[in-house]
Amino acid sequence: MMDNTILIRAGDAIDRHFGADLNLSSIEAAACGQVLSDFCGVVCGGVVESLSRYFILPPVFSASQLTLRITQVVGTAGAATGVVVGCVLGMGNLVFMDLEEAERRKRMAELEHIFTVVIQSAKETIGANMGSIFLVDEDSNELWSRVQTNVDKAIRLPLNATSIAGWVALNNKRLLAPDAYAEPLFNPEVDFRTGVRTSNLVAIPVTSQADPNKVIAVIELLNKEGGFNESDLRTCHMLSIHVSVFLSKCE
């Protein structure tokens, strides 16, 4: 029971905290957990045996009794049964664990890398100074940023029409704002929180591959010298298609 508990807990912790950074598969994380489990078994096994003998006294056999076939069969059967029961009890840890968390972390790490590449490409192609991708979280009814170039803080916005990203997500329409502060939908709260002033911006919806009417993310590019134009909107639309494909693969 102790061995299986350590293997499961350690393997899961390694997978969650180091799997994405070290590019470990689940089976590799489990193998690392097995190493720790075996180590703890060697170090702590004597303690477990001592505690068990305190509550359950083992039978005392003579040398001739130990050589009997029935003694060997019953001893082996008891040990095998104990191992199976202990492992099943140790597997009870799985009931209280989020088994999908590690995979979600790996998918989000992959998404973050892909989004960073997309935003950097958009900046270089279009000439924007900043870029963000807001994912739609229907459970919390929010938009939240995964990539914000030049800004370290994560931004969360309500999924409503009180912001440009929210309006784009709700209406599935692009929006071009030559003067951000003259745009009624613009929410200056984000500028106050990040310390970066937005002069102009373009926002493009990213729709689901399965349902073109469902917006799953919003791409925002900010502060292009000279402002954005229709050509930039077409380029952003192509980027939104690529992001949609990436998201569908990571669902």
Domain boundaries, the chain: 2-96, 103-250
Q: What's the CA gap between 106 and 27, in Å, rounded?
A: 14
pLDDT of the residue at 203? 92
- CATH superfamily for 103-250 is GAF domain (3.30.450.40)
What is the number of other CB atoms lying within 10 angstroms of the CB of residue 177? Answer: 21
Residue ranges of the chain with per-residue pLDDT less than 70: 20, 101-106, 146-153, 249-251
pLDDT of the residue at 144? 85
Contact 93, 229 (CB under 8 A): no
Question: Under 8 Å CB-to-CB from 170, ≥6 apart: which residues?
Answer: 159, 160, 161, 215
Q: How far is CA 4 from CA 10, 76, 155, 236, in A?
A: 10, 20, 40, 51
* Signed CA dihedral, 139, 143, 145, 151: sign only: negative
Phi then psi dihedrals of residue 133, to 5 deg: -125, 120
Q: Is the pTM of this model over 0.75?
A: no
Q: What's the CA gap between 226 and 123, in Å, rounded?
A: 14
